[in-house]
Each structure stands twice: as C-alpha cells, then as structure tokens.
C-alpha cells in the first residue's frame, strides 16, 4: 500500500511536469515541428530514465521508495515512452537484436494501428 501511495504521488507530479514541458515546447517550437511538445517530453523522459536506471543501480543503498517514486511514479506520469526506450535499449545492449527490434516494431506499429482502430470506433459510434 505504501508503494502505491508513493507511485500515485510521483505520477501526479510527473503529469504536471509533462504538461509544463509540453506546453513550453509547443509555444516555442511548434512553428518548426509538429508534435514538438510530445517530442520534448519523450526525449527528456528517455534521457532521465537512462540516467536514473544506472544511478539507482550504482546507488543500491538508497531506499527502494526513492526509485519507485522517481522512476515508476514521476517518470511514469511524465511519459511511459521512457520505459519503452529503456526496455528496448537493454534488449539491444544485451545483443538480443531480434527481441529488441520486435519490441520496437510492435510498440510503434501496433500502437499506431490501435490509435486508428480507436479513432474508427469512436467515429462509427458518434455518427
């Protein structure tokens, strides 16, 4: 129960930070790049999860709640794309190229397909 509370608090904070960064990037870069806000959030999240994945591995003496609050909570609320990036990176780093590329392909390909399917279903229901 304590872990759920820590994750929930971190997730709320991460969602707020996502909104702030996305709005800032959209204001400043949308003239040059469509989707600038989402891109900024995803890239920042990937950098941060890469940093903290090694940081918490190297600092094993830190309480588990710190990692759960920051990585699962804040970064999970900020963007789950960072978890996708870290999982894919680990697979490729371990030489599991087939699994890594499959993970990338399924997440991106099926993700886009399901967006289209959800869009189509909603369009059908509202007409």
Nearest-10 Cα torsion for 54, 56, 59, 60: -120
82 lies in the same domain as 102: no
In this prediction, residue 38 carries a pLDDT of: 92
57 lies in the same domain as 90: yes
113 lies in the same domain as 82: no
In this prediction, residue 59 carries a pLDDT of: 75
80 lies in the same domain as 105: no
CB-based burial label for 98 (10 Å; 0-12, 13-18, 19+): exposed
In this prediction, residue 64 carries a pLDDT of: 85
Query: Alpha-carbon distance 16 to 9, whole Å?
Result: 11
- Note the pTM of the prediction, 2 decimals: 0.82
What stretches of the chain adopt beta strand conformation (E)?
none
Ranges of residues in the chain whose predicted pLDDT is under 50: none
- 111 three-state secondary structure: helix
Element (H, E) at 72: none
In this prediction, residue 21 carries a pLDDT of: 97
The total of structural domains in the chain comes to: 2
What the block records as the tokens of 5 is: 């509370």
Domain span holding position 113: 98-127
In this prediction, residue 85 carries a pLDDT of: 94
69 lies in the same domain as 126: no
């Amino acid at each position: 129960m304590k872990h759920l509370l820590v994750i929930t608090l971190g997730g709320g904070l991460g969602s707020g930070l996502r909104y702030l960064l996305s709005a800032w990037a959209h204001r400043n870069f949308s003239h040059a790049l469509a989707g600038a806000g989402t891109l900024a959030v995803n890239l920042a999240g990937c950098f941060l999860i890469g940093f903290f994945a090694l940081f918490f591995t190297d600092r094993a003496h830190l309480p588990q709640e710190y990692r759960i609050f920051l990585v699962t909570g804040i970064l999970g609320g900020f963007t789950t794309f960072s978890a996708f990036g870290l999982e894919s990176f680990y697979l490729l780093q371990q030489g599991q190229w087939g699994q890594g590329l499959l993970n990338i392909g399924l997440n991106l390909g099926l993700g886009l397909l399901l967006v289209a399917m959800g869009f189509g279903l909603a369009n059908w229901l509202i007409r």
